[in-house]
Amino acid sequence: MNSDIFLWLVQDGVVNGAIYALLALALLLVFTVTRVIFVPQGELISFAALSLALLEAGRVPGTIYILVFGGLAAAAIEVVVAWRERAAARLPRIALLYVALPLAVALLVAWAAPRRFDQWIQVLLVLAMVVPLGPIVYRIAYQPLASASVLVLFIVSMAVHYVLGGLSLVFFGGEGLRSSAFSDAKFRLGVVEVTAQSLWVVAASLVLIVALWLLFERSIYGKALRATAMNRVGARLVGIPTVLTGQLSFLLAALIGAVSGVLVSPITTVYYDTGFLIGLKGFVGAILGGMASYPLAALGALVLGLLESFASFWASAYKETIVFTLIVPVLVWLSLRSRHIEEEEEKE
Amino acid sequence: MSAGRIAMALFIGFLAVAPFALSEFYVTLMNYIGLATLVTLGLVLLTGVAGLMSFGQQVFVGFGAYATGVLTVQYGASPWLGLGAGLAFTAVAALGLGLITVRLSGHYLPISTIAWGIAFYFAFGNLELLGRYDGLQGIPAISLFGWNVESGRDAYALIWVATLAALLAAQNLLDSRSGRAIRTLRFRATMAESFGIDTAQMKLIVFLYAALLAALSGWLYAHFLHFVSPGAFNVNIGIEYLFMAVVGGASQVWGAVIGASLLTLLKEWLKDILPRLFAQSGNYEAIVFGLLMLPLLHRARDGLMPLFARLGRGGRNAPAPRPRAGPALPRRAVPAAGEPLLVLAGVQKNFGGLAAVRALSFEMRGGEILGLIGPNGAGKSTAFNLVTGVLPADAGEVHYRGARIDALPARRIARLGIARTFQHVNLIGGMSVLENVAIGAHLRGAKGTLAAMLRLDRDEERRLLHEAASQVERVGLSAHLGDPSASLALGQQRLVEIARALAADPVLLLLDEPAAGLRLQEKRALAALLRGLRAEGTSILLVEHDMDFVMGLVDRLVVMDFGEKIAEGLPREIQANPLVIEAYLGGIE
């Protein structure tokens, strides 16, 4: 291997690692606030990447059907709950959030798709389609089980992953798609040739990470999320509604998933199930951070990206095998470090 | 004959008749159900009973299938060698993975199993030895004493004999000393450790058993289909096995059959009908599976098996027969009265900035009842947890019969003859009073998992249960022997806690507020019981708020306030101590 290849692999690894870091942070956020292992994050990545590619081709992505029908399902649940609690005053809000908004987005996309607007408009359309799916999924699948154990919530995640993965195949088919780069520019940075595309990815990841940090440190919503993550019961006692923190964290996770999908779309061919693998790499990154520390998770994700990049050079057929067995040494380390048996006893 | 036995007899009858009555297609389907049941059964024990979760059982199925595939196809070896190799390989892999995950919190195992599912799927698909994505073809049939397991009906016999054997072994296991230990893992691991159960080891055993069942399923699969390819071991298959366990009812052995049958049939049916409905190919059954799981998890988290069981017995537990008397279990020798038993020297415990226990020192002698009292939050329960090893002390030493015990884990301390009750009742609600108490006698038995599966433990089991029943009788709850402990009143549940501690044959008994929630009559009975124990030489450390109860019972008192010992002495000295009065009633201005 010469130094050119080495540096190119490093660059590739950093780009992928930045995306994994972003995902690791989102997954960690959802886990600490809601105790949900948000596996379906992967499907949101696929949705975003494939939707962008389809919009570019002037076609209407099937994501709008998932959005509209998901919204209707969530609305139906809300109406039933409102009916039981005799709270008719909630109906206009339900109709607006879960019916009118998804429908408006769907119509807008259907109108805009054949017109092939600029790429940045298409990106905004993708975000508008995918981000609301976070709170919708939370409402349908997780909110009724907010107090269930981590393991039950994990099964729920797998069920949601199954549904969204199946829908992904139905609406996007089995073929892979790739969207065009945000920019074709290349420039030399010392001895390495850097594509503007990879700078885009790294910059966008950094901006989002900083934005998340600001949100957590400065805003009242971020503080509510942090409070819930530290002590759920205490947070409820001081009047932070768990439904709000749950929806908020899923909204953020969906935003990060959608952005990751958009970033990934031009650098790799995305199939209906690619997002699942990408999302899981985010989890591996989070595990490298011990499922607790944000900076460690980001660092772990970066290491993962680099490892993947070099693995694909040396043994491309075993790339995934190598990447996913990386968690074994980490688990050994975590296990040796934990002196006391960690446990969270479930409630009967 | 109970409804459960009738249902089982009907089921076995159906299995016996099925190959003669059903068409080839349905026999094949039954074979798939049997294979899935084996894997699901492992998950039922793992997830429903022990509270561990795996989405990676298909990898072990793959080990079982590929091991025999490679050995028989590439090397012309016997399928039986293939079985041995598959089980051995799986055992090593499962032990390795188990060792590094059982000590971590619950969510690490499922995430790791998904990751390893992906890793091995790609490994299966890329290894030359395993035929890459094409897989291995021409795997020979199993032959057994000249019987060639060639046709679908032959395979049926082998598959279902193996499946039934595994189901019965699992049922036997759950109804045994090891089984009770396994049933504590999901909800009550701290309590289990306090009675000497090595929870990490138990988890490892369950994980290993589940993995071996999966490998067995893989071996049968390979020789029944004569073909293996990576497609059968992808991540989705692992998820479906877990769905089967959830649908059937993850805490019941026979739920595995129900879950595996329902989902296998449903999948077959959906694959048949859905593409016609949508006029386009796709993974529609996955969408339906996922959508079916959600309401199930929302509304019936225990799966469908409890519904079946309720239909069977009309929702009422039959009273458990009192276990027959056998030779009594051996008892520990108690120290002579007055011999130093427990010594705390400068014991300290901080929670963050709060010193819950501060430089606590006191001494306890053999055959005495020592009361540990103090206002709420004085650190009494923390002191209990420090003595019993549930919490590690930050500083200071604890000596028991001359040996230092503060660095020992709870289960080692239990071996020394220290048993305790918990302030917050720590029973397994779904288990009968008898079984809960028998957990206390765990260390007085020795039979392991294998003996339990093969029913070689019945003699010892009878003695353990008899001991448990006599302790239940001793606390006056004989009438509730077979009732689920959750159905008892809180005061009675505290008595069950005491019976469980007594079943451990303790030298030193630690009781954390045993009289709370008891009525006057029950309190008197309890006091009489404790005096009786003292007369037998058992020493008792008692935390209690009811002063009438304490003053009439204890030999000496230690009073704590804000984590410190403020007084020590005879009950009448303590009652007159101004510091104690101030701690309880507040200072006099």
SS (H, E, C) B89-144: HHHHHHHHHHHHHCCCCCCHHHHHHHHHHHHHHHHHHHCHHHCHHHCEECCCCEEE
- Topology at the third CATH level for domain B340-417+506-585: Rossmann fold (3.40.50)
- Asked if pLDDT for residue B482 goes beyond 90, the answer is no
Q: How far is A175 from chain B (nearest CA, A)?
A: 12
As a whole number of angstroms, the distance between CA B527 and CA B529 comes to: 5
Expressed as residue numbers, the domain containing A242 is 23-293
Confirm whether A209 is domain-assigned: yes
Residue A252's nearest CA partner among A31, A15, A2, A64 is A31
As a whole number of angstroms, the distance between CA B242 and CA B265 comes to: 16
What is the token pair recorded at B22?
A: 């059903």
What is the tens place of the pLDDT at every residue in B54-94?
888 999 999 999 999 999 888 888 889 989 999 999 999 99
As a whole number of angstroms, the distance between CA B435 and CA B184 comes to: 11
What is the tens place of the pLDDT at every residue in B24-64?
888 889 999 999 999 999 999 988 888 888 888 999 999 99
What is the tens place of the pLDDT at every residue in B163-183?
999 999 998 998 889 989 998
Q: Give the chain A residue nearest B295 (alpha carbons).
A: A141
Interface test with A, best of B128, B241, B246, B298 (most A CBs within 10 A): B298
* pLDDT confidence of residue B589: 47
As a whole number of angstroms, the distance between CA B82 and CA A195 comes to: 52
CB-nearest to A152 from B199, B280, B297 is B297
- Asked if pLDDT for residue B234 goes beyond 80, the answer is yes
ipTM of the complex model: 0.86
**Beta-bridge partner residues of B400:** B342, B403
What is the tens place of the pLDDT at every residue in B294-342?
888 887 766 666 666 655 444 444 445 666 666 778 888 778 777 888 9
* pLDDT confidence of residue B325: 65
DSSP state of B56: -
Q: How far is CA B146 from the centre of its chain?
A: 42
Q: In which element (H, E) is residue A93 found? A: helix A91-94
Q: How far is CA B408 from the centre of its chain?
A: 23
B104 with A338: Cβ contact below 8 A: yes
> Any CB–CB contact under 8 A between B12 and chain A?
no
Q: B433-440 and B177-184 helices cross at what angle (nearest 10)?
A: 100
Architecture of the domain delimited by B3-313? Orthogonal Bundle (1.10)
A320 with B122: Cβ contact below 8 A: yes
What is the token pair recorded at B14?
A: 């159906």
Structural contact between residues B496 and B472, judged by C-beta atoms closer than 8 angstroms: yes
Q: What are phi and psi of A69, to 5 degrees?
A: -70, -35
Structural contact between residues B404 and B398, judged by C-beta atoms closer than 8 angstroms: yes
Structural contact between residues B545 and B373, judged by C-beta atoms closer than 8 angstroms: yes
Work out the burial of residue B314: count CB atoms within 10 Å of its CB; fewer than 13 is exposed, 13-18 middle, 19 or more buried. exposed
How confident is chain A (348 residues) per 10-residue block, as mean pLDDT?
A: 80 87 87 87 92 90 92 92 86 88 91 85 92 93 83 88 90 82 73 77 87 83 81 81 86 92 87 88 81 77 88 82 81 67 48
For B107, how many CA atoms within 13 A lie in the half-sphere containing its CB? Answer: 24
What is the tens place of the pLDDT at every residue in A228-277?
877 777 888 888 887 888 888 999 999 999 999 998 888 888 888 888 88
- Give the pLDDT mean for B386-395: 88
CB-nearest to A145 from B104, B115, B298 is B298
What is the tens place of the pLDDT at every residue in B339-358?
888 998 888 888 877 888 88
- Give the pLDDT mean for B252-279: 83
Helix, coil or strand: residue A60: coil
Residue B500's nearest CA partner among B539, B430, B444 is B444
A317 with B126: Cβ contact below 8 A: yes
As a whole number of angstroms, the distance between CA B488 and CA B473 comes to: 15
* pLDDT confidence of residue A196: 79
- Asked if pLDDT for residue B586 goes beyond 80, the answer is no
As a whole number of angstroms, the distance between CA A70 and CA A53 comes to: 22
As a whole number of angstroms, the distance between CA A259 and CA A276 comes to: 15
Structural contact between residues B63 and B89, judged by C-beta atoms closer than 8 angstroms: yes
Instruction: Kindly report the length of chain A.
Output: 348
> Any CB–CB contact under 8 A between A161 and chain B?
yes
B/e letters for B524-548, b = 16+ CB within 10 Å, e = fewer, are eebbebbeebbeeebbbbbbbeeee
Q: How far is A323 from chain B (nearest CA, A)?
A: 8
* pLDDT confidence of residue B326: 67
Helix, coil or strand: residue B345: strand
As a whole number of angstroms, the distance between CA A163 and CA A278 comes to: 18
The count of other CB atoms within 10 Å of the CB of residue A335 is 16
* pLDDT confidence of residue B445: 85
Structural contact between residues A297 and A289, judged by C-beta atoms closer than 8 angstroms: yes
As a whole number of angstroms, the distance between CA B226 and CA A117 comes to: 55
Beta strands in B389-519 (DSSP E): 395-400, 403-404, 418-420, 508-512
What is the tens place of the pLDDT at every residue in A23-68?
888 888 888 888 888 999 999 999 999 999 999 888 889 899 999 9
Which A-chain residues 109-148 have CB contacts (< 8 A) with chain B? 140-141, 144-145, 148
Residue with tokens 């050079």: A313
Q: How far is B533 from chain A (nearest CA, A)?
A: 33
Question: Domain total for chain A?
Answer: 1
Alpha-helical (H) ranges within B226-362 are 235-248, 255-278, 284-299, 305-313
Structural contact between residues B371 and B554, judged by C-beta atoms closer than 8 angstroms: yes
Confirm whether A117 is domain-assigned: yes
* pLDDT confidence of residue A32: 82
CB-nearest to B111 from A149, A169, A283 is A283
Interface test with A, best of B58, B95, B108, B116 (most A CBs within 10 A): B108
What's the distance, Cα to Cα, between the start and end of chain B in Å?
A: 73
**Distant-in-sequence, close-in-space partners of A299: CB < 8 Å, separation ≥ 6:** A21, A288, A289
Confirm whether A272 is domain-assigned: yes
Domain boundaries, chain B: 3-313, 340-417+506-585
**Distant-in-sequence, close-in-space partners of A317: CB < 8 Å, separation ≥ 6:** B122, B126
Structural contact between residues B108 and A331, judged by C-beta atoms closer than 8 angstroms: yes
As a whole number of angstroms, the distance between CA B389 and CA A341 comes to: 12
* pLDDT confidence of residue B311: 54
Strand pairing category for B395-400 and B340-351: antiparallel
Which A-chain residues 277-336 have CB contacts (< 8 A) with chain B? 277, 280, 283-284, 287, 291, 317-325, 327-328, 331-332, 334-335
**Measured at the alpha carbon of residue B221, what is the angle toward residues B219 and B223, in degrees to the nearest 5?**
75
As a whole number of angstroms, the distance between CA B87 and CA B38 comes to: 14
Confirm whether A111 is domain-assigned: yes
DSSP state of A88: G
Which residues in A lie closer than 8 A to residue B278 (C-beta atoms)? 170
What is the token pair recorded at B339?
A: 């011999």
Q: What are phi and psi of A27, to 5 degrees?
A: -65, -40
What is the tens place of the pLDDT at every residue in B531-574?
988 988 889 999 988 888 888 889 998 988 888 888 888 888 88
Confirm whether A332 is domain-assigned: no
What is the token pair recorded at A218?
A: 């400065």
Work out the burial of residue B498: count CB atoms within 10 Å of its CB; fewer than 13 is exposed, 13-18 middle, 19 or more buried. buried
Confirm whether A76 is domain-assigned: yes
The count of other CB atoms within 10 Å of the CB of residue B587 is 8
What is the token pair recorded at B573?
A: 């000295």
Structural contact between residues B85 and B147, judged by C-beta atoms closer than 8 angstroms: no
Q: What is the pTM of this model?
A: 0.88
What is the token pair recorded at A164?
A: 């969204």
As a whole number of angstroms, the distance between CA A69 and CA A62 comes to: 11
